[in-house]
Amino acid sequence: MNRKRSNALYRRALELIPGGVNSPVRAFKAIGTPPVFIERAKGSKLWDVDGNEYIDYVGSWGPMIMGHAHPRVLSALRKTAPKGTSFGAPTPLEVELANEIRKAFPSMELVRMVSSGTEAVMSAIRVARGYTGRNKILKFEGCYHGHGDSLLVKAGSGATTFGIPDSLGVPEELARHTLTAPYNDLERVRFLVDQYPEQIACIIVEPIAGNMGVVLPEKGFLEGLRKVCDEKGILLLFDEVITGFRVAYGGAQELYAIKADLTCLGKIIGGGLPVGAYGGREEIMEKVAPLGGVYQAGTLSGNPMAMAAGIATLQYLKTQKVYKDLEKKTAYFVEKIEEITEERRIPISINFATGMLTLFFTEGPVRDYTTAKMSNTKRFAQFFIEMLEQGVYLPPSQYEAWFFSLAHTQKDLDQTLEACDKALGKI
């Protein structure tokens, strides 16, 4: 494919933007090829600035569950924009969206709107600390919760496991308040909780991990976290920025029948516009200003454009047979790709949930960050490039999820599987 204009734009962007991109994974560094600059999108397709067409499995990293430029979302935006795009004041739309969220997530008795998933998580952790009077948090290796300072850490070692800064600019003193454990390792969680009695404010987890690739919770893991939190006075914080309204209308909490004390949402609740939300039990959320002493504010929180797009999206998801459709598409794709890889004798492990999956280039099974890192990233990079040349746009990293949308047709799936077969035959 000719990407002359994309390459020229990237060279220009390098002069103006750090790394030429506004979010690191977009730079395609893990692939070793210049990024593609997108001009427009519709349904399941993207078109780059050179006119090349792609079947899209990034979906803006999850929000586009209905497909790009869905008529209902566009209609809602057209009706809202002429009234004004930002007020910095309360609007009826934010009340309506909060109500839709609370009906889907009963554990979110009070909901606060923010502008991103990162902001939601940062705020929820502050609330957890304010409510419990404790400073430490416990997270899981390989789970990404945004770029807040407390969360940009990786695992330490030994009996006194403290976080080590995983980014320049994060003070070690702050990172020391973050404990880490391997995903799906309940024994390690119990050990850390016992090591730091009455010091841990919350355990934060992606109930289905999506940021080391898709990794599912093993039987008893989430239930065990709930039990530990109840026993030790720790708040359980579910980061459902990815899973919320994707794996089920009520997210992973509906799927696994577990209530979190605090929940963070994003992605789908904005219908493609920047938005996030956090919420939880009333007694906890009453700590948030102006009711309580935990301060959090934002000029664009509850932005009417984002609220309108989110309402249109959630109302559509609620009235359609969305999740059966997504589940059927995902299962079909997984069945066929397993047949292809088995025939070609390529070691691949596939983890999936409704509407999302990851092909790990390793024999697997992949159950945590350590096993995810056993993947052959060079082979993935080759696979990505081959798929891109055949008109399939995948996440440019081994450690990300592919996202299916309602707009993906059977033809899209079969065309993608054909491309996979050809790509796997070349690497």
> SS3 of 174, please?
helix
User: What was the pLDDT predicted at 160?
Assistant: 31
| Per-residue pLDDT tens over the stretch 394-408 | 999 999 999 999 999
Q: Which of 186, 193, 263 is nearest to 225 (CA)?
A: 186
Q: Give the integer Cα–Cα distance in Å for 239 and 124.
A: 10
CATH number for the domain harbouring residue 418: 3.90.1150.10
Residues 328, 397: one domain? yes
Q: Give the integer Cα–Cα distance in Å for 44 and 113.
A: 28
User: What was the pLDDT predicted at 320?
Assistant: 80
CATH number for the domain harbouring residue 176: 3.40.640.10
Residues 94, 228: one domain? yes
- How many of the other CB atoms lie within 10 Å of CB of 16? 7
Q: Give the integer Cα–Cα distance in Å for 53 and 23.
A: 23
User: What was the pLDDT predicted at 206?
Assistant: 97
Domain range for 34 is 4-69+321-424
| 137: β partners | 178, 202
User: What was the pLDDT predicted at 305?
Assistant: 98
Q: Give the integer Cα–Cα distance in Å for 115 and 299.
A: 9
**Which of 319, 334, 350 marks a domain boundary?**
319
Could you give the maximum distance between any two Cα atoms of the chain, in Å?
61
**Amino acid identity, position 195:** Q
Q: Which of 385, 335, 202 is nearest to 278 (CA)?
A: 202
Residues 301, 361: one domain? no
What strand order describes the sheet that includes 235-239? Answer: 110-114, 276-280, 262-265, 235-239, 200-205, 136-141, 178-182
Residues 16, 102: one domain? no
Helices (H), 15-54: none
267 is catalytic: yes
Residues 79, 130: one domain? yes
Q: Give the integer Cα–Cα distance in Å for 319 and 249.
A: 10
| Count of domains for the chain | 2
**Which of 253, 287, 319 marks a domain boundary?**
319
From 10, 54, 57, 144, active-site residue? 144
Q: Give the integer Cα–Cα distance in Å for 402 and 418.
A: 17
Residues 117, 156: one domain? yes
User: What was the pLDDT predicted at 175?
Assistant: 80
User: Is the CB of residue 397 less than 8 Å from the CB of residue 372?
Assistant: no
| Per-residue pLDDT tens over the stretch 262-308 | 999 999 999 999 999 999 999 999 999 999 999 999 999 999 999 99
Residues 303, 344: one domain? no
User: What was the pLDDT predicted at 149?
Assistant: 80
Residues 13, 123: one domain? no
Residues 14, 117: one domain? no
| Low-confidence stretches of the chain (pLDDT beneath 50) | 155-163
From 239, 261, 368, 412, active-site residue? 239
328 is catalytic: no
From 45, 136, 139, 267, active-site residue? 267
User: Is the CB of residue 237 less than 8 Å from the CB of residue 204?
Assistant: yes
Strand segments (E) across 330-400: 349-353, 356-360, 392-393
**Which of 319, 343, 373 marks a domain boundary?**
319
| Per-residue pLDDT tens over the stretch 350-359 | 999 999 999 9
Residue located via tokens 């992949």: 366
Let me know if 299 is exposed, middle or buried by CB neighbors in 10 A (0-12, 13-18, 19+).
Answer: exposed
Residues 136, 193: one domain? yes
DSSP 383: H
Q: Which of 255, 271, 252 is nearest to 263 (CA)?
A: 252
Q: Give the integer Cα–Cα distance in Å for 390 and 415.
A: 9
Residues 32, 171: one domain? no
131 is catalytic: no
Residues 303, 343: one domain? no
